[in-house]
Amino acid sequence: MAPVSRTASDDASVAAVQAALGASADGVVRAPGRVNLIGDHTDYAQGFVLPMAIDRSCLVALRRAATRRVRARSLELPGDVDVAADGSDDARTVEPRWGGFVAGAVQAITERGGRVPGLDLVVSSTVPAGSGLSSSSALSVALTMALGGTAGLELGANDVARAALDAEIRATGVPGGLMDQLTSVHGVADHALLIDCRTLAIEPIPLPHELAVLVVHSGVPRTLAGSAYAERRAATERAAARLGIASLRDANLRDVEDDPLARHVVTENARVLAFAAALRARDIEALGPLLLASHASLRDDFAVSTPELDLLVDAFVAAGALGARLTGAGFGGCVVGLAMGRDAPRVLDRTVERYRDTSGREPSAFVVRAVEGAGTMQP
């Protein structure tokens, strides 16, 4: 991977992970989180999604060690990780639990023919955990790139994404789709990515400069391993099997009108394509209604929203946002909203105030911008 540009925030994070190593790092890898503008629970059905890489990232600094162990510590999470460099440790049993991602990445690299050397790693992330902004995928991509680069593997961008997904599944047991990893790897500054999850074709689509992307965390953490995510995925696969098709990507609305879960997938694919077309045409007025329709479908048909997420969407609308929806798999986490840039501070402040007053929870809010994808950074 080519070196990536860096911001003042990146500079501070790089300095922190280097200092934690106690000596000069041999390398630093940065992988961004993502926000999905529209298109949830469509990726594993070979459908369409429209995410963007965001200016919240995971960094992994590394230094070679004279052992056959991979040792890691996090600047934010407790516990030290120590796993075998040959991939023999079971990622599901490693403690602390975040160490499962380290073990999973080692296994993903070694099973692809890489020989991981002894390494000391320091990890730091500004992607909020349990938020639906892909903190786990950012960690998996950064680890996979860092380990693959030292193991003598020549991995293309999609290979990195697949290996990172492999590592994440090993660590969590959750059979996720490939959207998060592809977005972290392929991000383009100031663009969203229209991803065809069947062909993996990616079209960067410019975001109007006058548009602001707002994210508010509901204060309810999202844990896929403890959610009904796997059940929803299995249900969509059963629906495709009943229809005799490879995936719900190939279904039409008539096929699924009596099956709410399948109906969401079909209608969400259509909304993603309509949203992308509106961005290309700079038809900003069309975007908000599509976001609200997406949230309604995720709430009513796919049943992955929560009362808090519904309140947040209502608060966004009342504050003057163009539209809003839950982002990610649901069951907690974040809502993404759109506003005109000049209105963004007011919309965000009013959304947070209204949500706090109605829910009794303390949200966290920020404006995000689209950034380039993962890569190495000069230490």
Which listed residue (40, 180, 259, 301) is catalytic? Answer: 180
3-state secondary structure of 140: helix
Which residues lie below 8 Å from residue 350, measured CB to CB, with a gap of 6+?
A: 315, 318, 319, 320
Tokens read off for 167 = 């590592």
Active site residue 89: no
Contacts for 171-174: CB closer than 8 Å, 24+ residues apart: 171/91, 171/92, 171/100, 171/101, 171/103, 171/104, 171/136, 171/140, 172/100, 172/136, 172/224, 172/225, 173/92, 173/225, 174/224, 174/225, 174/229, 174/230
- Start-to-end C-alpha separation, the chain: 15
Residue type, 375: G
Q: Taking the alpha carbons of 156, 157, 161, 167 in that order, is the dihedral positive or negative?
A: positive
3-state secondary structure of 184: helix
Tokens read off for 226 = 């403890």
Residues 131 and 335: their CA atoms lie apart, in Å, by 9
3-state secondary structure of 69: strand
Least Cα distance to 227 among 165, 171, 297, 306 occurs for 306
Residues annotated catalytic, as ranges:
180
